[in-house]
Amino acid sequence: MVADLIATCYTKARALRRTSFLLFGLCIFLLGCSDTVSVLPHVKVAGQTMGTQYHVTLVAETDADALKAAFDKRLAEINKVMSTYDPESELMQINRAPVAQPLPISDDLAAVLALSLQIYSQTAGGFDVTVGPLVNRWGFGPVEAKGKPDEAEVATLLASVGSDALTLEQADSGWQLVKHKPVFIDLSAIAKGWAVDELAGMLVARGYQDFLVEIGGELRVSGKNARGANWSIAVERPSLAQGGVQAAIGVSNLAVATSGSYRNYQMYNGVQYSHTIDPSTGQPVTHNMVSITVLADTCAEADALATGFNVMGPEAALAEAEARGLAVFILVDEGGEIRELSSSHFLPYLSQH
């Protein structure tokens, strides 16, 4: 069943927990360590995927070219399943398929959808893989904005939004998806995180313990870095003009993702609109949260939770994080001044840096 599928995914993830760490978004940097500390042998692998770049740092002596070939092959497989830019991807075929019919889907797609539906519920609908048409219409997709949508347009698009219109079923032949209305599924807010977890899993399967995997700013680490220390991560200060570090943490056995709105927005009639769209209203969020960083077991989970919490707003997100024992770090804009909020579970990571 769906719960079993999610449990299987988490079983794979927990095999990585020696020091698994994720990072999401353009607003996080890796911090360096002192050059006076000896550096262990390590290799770096980089490549292109999902319209961005991936980087892997592995603390070991190994064949980097062979690793890159294996990574590229797996990433191509994932892209062929989840891309919305490839009209022949599995996901795009599902999007074109008729409603109310059981549609056979791959294990990869079923696993990502199962986690997506779980986090849809956990974030009160804030994380919704069917919100893409609204995101595009507000000018945050691949097509140039046509101006601010009116209420009628938003209402029309909202009629085809809602992950509660998706049912995941297990049949004798495998997993099936049923769409109960003509939704358009877009996994861009979770697919990169999922791919990070997959590459991390490949490294663990090969016996490696100390590594960093990053795709498009989403990141996961395991073990120690080449200097034998925890991986150090910095959250960027949300200022286009100044930049810099807002907070730094030392992490191990975790994933981290950040979702923010201060770099990505549209201007309509002199008014700034966030790229974060509330799936319940079809409108950009108006709260004062500029970024949220989430620590979780897997990159996919942290990625999706960060997006969902960004929709919920600072108070609701912080309350949910406390209730679930999650470590989150929030930056809010109070009259031009940035204020920090965090769950009680986040504070220990500040002292580890």
pLDDT at residue 115, rounded to an integer: 98
What range defines the domain where residue 207 resides?
2-351
**Structure tokens given for 63:** 């064949």
- To 10 degrees, what angle do helices 299-312 and 107-122 make? 30
pLDDT at residue 36, rounded to an integer: 56
Does the CA dihedral 346-22-337-325 come out positive or negative?
negative
**Structure tokens given for 255:** 């994933």
Task: Enumerate residue ranges in the chain where pLDDT < 50.
Answer: 2-4, 6-34, 240-241
Note whether 296 and 10 are within 8 A (CB).
Answer: no
DSSP 34: -
Query: Total structural domains in the chain?
Result: 1
Q: Is 213 helix (H, G, I), strand (E, B) or coil?
A: strand
Looking at residue 117, which CATH number applies to its domain?
A: 3.10.520.10
Q: Could you tell me which residues are annotated as the binding site?
A: 189, 303, 307
Helices then strands, each counted (H, E), the chain: 10, 16
DSSP string over 104-168: E--HHHHHHHHHHHHHHHHTTT-S-TT-HHHHIIIIISSSPP-S---HHHHHHHHTT--GGGEEE
Q: What's this model's pTM, rounded to 2 decimal places?
A: 0.86
Q: Could you tell me which residues are annotated as the binding site for Mg(2+)?
A: 189, 303, 307
Using CA atoms, how far apart are residues 85 and 142, in angstroms rounded to an integer?
9
pLDDT at residue 155, rounded to an integer: 97
